[in-house]
């Protein structure tokens, strides 16, 4: 049987991510701060949507800048979170008020004050895209792919990206080393003695 080729993950450029995160619903929307915090956190940490939905308030350490994540196979890991995402989270928590979730303290809640589901995360992203007039397909996983691709393009080592993504196998992470042909061409042109264009 012919060997299946690994599908290259879809990702956004850095400028596309910035544009997407700066757009969104009307300022008076009660969910604007929540949705913005979710999108910032997805891109800042590379979490799966199920991992994000399972977060509790206590999982975010605002002092150290890490979030505790329970990933696939109940494997726990600590993932760094950027200053912008932490700032969005603080603002969201300040505005949201009490929740109606019993016996737990979910980080992200729905209109009824209950834990947001992973399907809810995908749904709110669709709404954000629609309000922003965004035409390019984007899913929560696209932001995870973008997170990994941008880190590797900026020189982050593969093992660190594997740890942050919660991949059991390094081979799973290695697919991200093949996604940016533009970056590959740029490195080649800069490094190869005959790679530079001549006038």
pLDDT at residue 184 tops 80: no
Averaged pLDDT of the chain: 85
Q: For residue 125, tell me if it sits in a domain.
A: yes
Q: Is 74 left (phi over 0), alpha (psi -120 to 50) or beta?
A: left
> How many residues are there in the chain?
199
Residue 2 lies in a domain: no
Question: Which pLDDT belongs to residue 102?
Answer: 66
Mean pLDDT over 54-61 rounds to 95
Domain containing 154: what range?
A: 14-191
pTM recorded for the entire structure: 0.83
Q: Does residue 97 fall inside a structural domain?
A: yes
- For 59, the token pair is 């999982």
- The CATH number that applies at residue 70 is 1.10.443.10
- Asked if residue 28 is part of any domain, the answer here is yes
Residue 4 within any structural domain of the chain: no
Report if residue 6 sits inside a domain: no
Task: Decide if 196 is inside a domain.
Answer: no
Provide mean pLDDT across the span 132-159.
90
How many angstroms separate the first and last alpha carbons of the chain?
Answer: 48
Domain count, the chain: 1
Pair of tokens at residue 126: 């669709």
Average pLDDT value for residue range 65-93: 92
pLDDT digits (tens, 9 = 90+) for 90-104: 999 998 877 766 667
- pLDDT of residue 3 exceeding 50, the answer is no
Residue of 180, 136, 127 whose CA lies nearest to 16: 136
Q: What is the pLDDT of residue 176?
A: 79
In a domain, 1, yes or no: no
Catalytic residues: 48, 72, 141, 144, 167, 176
With a CB cutoff of 8 Å and minimum separation 6, the contacts of 46 are: 79, 143, 144, 147, 148, 164, 165
């Amino acid at each position: 049987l012919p060997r299946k080729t690994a599908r290259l993950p879809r990702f956004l450029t850095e400028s596309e991510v910035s544009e997407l995160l700066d757009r969104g619903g009307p300022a008076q929307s009660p969910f604007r701060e929540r949705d913005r915090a979710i999108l910032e956190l997805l891109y800042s940490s590379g979490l799966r949507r199920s991992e994000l939905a399972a977060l509790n308030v206590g999982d975010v350490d605002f002092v150290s800048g890490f979030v505790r994540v329970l990933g696939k196979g109940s494997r726990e890991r600590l993932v760094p979170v950027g200053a912008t995402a932490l700032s969005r989270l603080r603002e969201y928590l300040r505005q949201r008020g009490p929740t109606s979730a019993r016996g737990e303290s979910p980080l992200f809640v729905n209109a009824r004050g209950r834990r947001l589901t992973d399907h809810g995360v995908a749904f709110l992203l669709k709404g954000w895209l629609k309000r922003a007039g965004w035409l390019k397909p984007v899913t929560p996983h696209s932001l995870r792919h973008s997170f990994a691709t941008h880190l590797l393009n900026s020189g982050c080592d593969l093992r660190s990206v594997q740890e942050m993504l919660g991949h059991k196998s390094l081979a799973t992470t290695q697919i991200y080393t093949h996604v940016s042909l533009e970056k590959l061409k740029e490195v080649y042109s800069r490094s190869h003695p005959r790679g530079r264009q001549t006038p």
